């Protein structure tokens, strides 16, 4: 069985997952792309659940705008980067507005899916988006301290490169003010220089 076929099988099982009663499904995942680059989001919103694809709404427009600056438009990105998330179902809305942050048990319930994907894909570059995703790999105090450079961290038993990005939410001002603007650009340039990104960009 090829990696692509194994990914397809994995995703069929993933979409049937109903481990978390407070989560709204069905689970969302990206295309079954056998890629050396893996993006990890936080959790889908209600629009992503409706459209069955990650980063399918406003935040996605911003995110894919960033990647277009370094050589891949949205369509190319979706075809060349494996898109995962800390949680694959929509956590629901808070009473005061905004999306609920997944709980520790929900994050733990979903972690095996990402572990299996890392084991299967053996990605050379991981791109976690936002504090929740970044915190699955390293301690996060301030984004200023970690955005803008490459980190070498053990993930699933192997040292891998991690280049974190801020969340592209319209509710966040971090990536639209300094030092966020400068640090975001440094992070994107670090991604652009990475051998794994160069490999998938060369396929265009």
pLDDT at residue 204 tops 80: no
The model's pLDDT over 124-141, given as tens digits with 9 standing for 90+, comes to 999 999 999 999 999 999
**Overall average pLDDT of the 161-189 stretch:** 95
Q: How many domains does the chain have?
A: 1
- Please, what is the average pLDDT of the chain? 96
Q: How many Å separate Cα 9 from the centre of its chain?
A: 20
Structural domain span for residue 161? 3-201
Contacts of 142 (CB under 8 A, 6+ apart): none
The model's pLDDT over 143-170, given as tens digits with 9 standing for 90+, comes to 999 999 999 999 999 999 999 999 998 8
CATH number of the domain encompassing residue 55: 3.40.470.10
């Amino acid at each position: 069985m090829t990696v692509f076929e194994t990914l397809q099988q994995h995703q069929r099982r993933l979409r049937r997952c109903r481990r978390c009663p407070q989560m709204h499904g069905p689970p969302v995942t990206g295309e079954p792309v056998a890629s050396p680059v893996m993006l990890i989001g936080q959790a889908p919103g209600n629009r992503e659940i409706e459209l069955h694809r990650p980063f399918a709404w406003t935040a996605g427009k911003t995110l894919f705008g960033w990647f277009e600056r370094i050589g891949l438009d949205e369509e190319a990105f979706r075809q060349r980067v494996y898109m995962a998330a800390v949680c694959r179902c929509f956590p629901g809305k808070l009473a005061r507005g905004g999306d609920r942050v997944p709980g520790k048990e929900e994050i733990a319930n979903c972690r095996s899916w990402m572990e299996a994907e890392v084991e299967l894909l053996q990605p050379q570059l991981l791109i976690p988006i936002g504090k929740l995703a970044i915190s699955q790999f390293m301690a996060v105090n301030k984004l200023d301290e970690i955005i803008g450079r490459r980190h070498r961290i053990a993930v699933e038993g192997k040292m891998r490169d991690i280049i974190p990005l801020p969340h592209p939410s319209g509710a966040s001002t971090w990536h639209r003010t300094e030092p966020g603007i400068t640090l975001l650009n440094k992070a994107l340039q670090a991604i652009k220089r990475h051998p794994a990104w160069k490999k998938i960009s060369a396929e265009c």
